[in-house]
Amino acid sequence: MLTRKQKELLVLIRDRLAEEGVPPSFDEMKEALGLKSKSGIHRLITGLEERGFIKRLPHRARALEIIRMPEDMEAKNSGKGARKTRLPANMPDMAAIAAAQSISLPLYGRIAAGMPIEALHDASSMIDVPVGLIAARGKINPDDHYALEVDGDSMIEAGIMDGDRVIIRKCDTVENGAIVVALVGSEDEGGNEVTLKKLERRGSKTALIPANKNLQTQIYDAARVRVQGKLVGLVRQY
């Protein structure tokens, strides 16, 4: 049996994971439950963990996973009048994604962080990434993201190394100075070269700028450069 406060905290964590992709902070938990100190929250979380309702994930801030809900609460949630989290149409189950703390994205092969290479459109494999890397304004949509493996050293001064996996959010417009996946070439040319660079608009021209003092900026007519996505995260294997 759970205490009333344990149930309140469990529901709060579940709902916040479903709505925002991350659990509430200890301060937010304390305020929501009307407790005077965070030590009470620590005791409640420890109790829920010992009873197998939640799991604390090591080496991650605010990382809690819902393992199960009490049977009486599951029955209430399935009944008439139960509180339901409203999700956008065609969106994945955000609660399940958030609980897992990771999500699989398609890995579209290698992208040149040097000179452009031929674009790869077919996913050769999948990669698991932390949910936080693709969370934007509390919403999670893995269909708007993909991963690429970096080939080259032109972005090393931005902390992007050869062999890193970069997480890209699909978009066709970005702010000046963003690091982007850029497709270089006109429609007549097939538009089949892609590179990872910092983008800067200069009148009728577009500059693709490396983060390596030994390499030169490439300048193109603006019409020849199309943004395929914006860098939002990086995964490195040691």
Annotated catalytic residues are: 154, 197
**What ranges make up the beta strands (E) of 64-176?**
64-66, 102-112, 117-118, 125-130, 145-151, 165-169
**If you write DSSP's letter for every residue of 2-70 in order, what string do you get?**
--HHHHHHHHHHHHHHHHHSSPPPHHHHHHHHT-S-HHHHHHHHHHHHHTTSEEEPTTSTT-EEE----
**236 within 8 A of 227, measured Cβ to Cβ:** no
For residue 179, list its beta bridge partners: 198
| H or E segment and range at residue 93 | none
Query: Quick one: angle between helices 4-20 and 26-33, nearest 10?
Result: 130
Could you give the CA distance from residue 157 to residue 213 in angstroms, rounded to a whole number? Answer: 8
Question: In the numeric block, which tokens belong to residue 225?
Answer: 């450069």
Taking the C-alpha atoms of residue 9 and residue 49, their distance in angstroms, rounded to an integer, is 12
Identify the sign of the CA torsion 18, 24, 28, 34.
positive
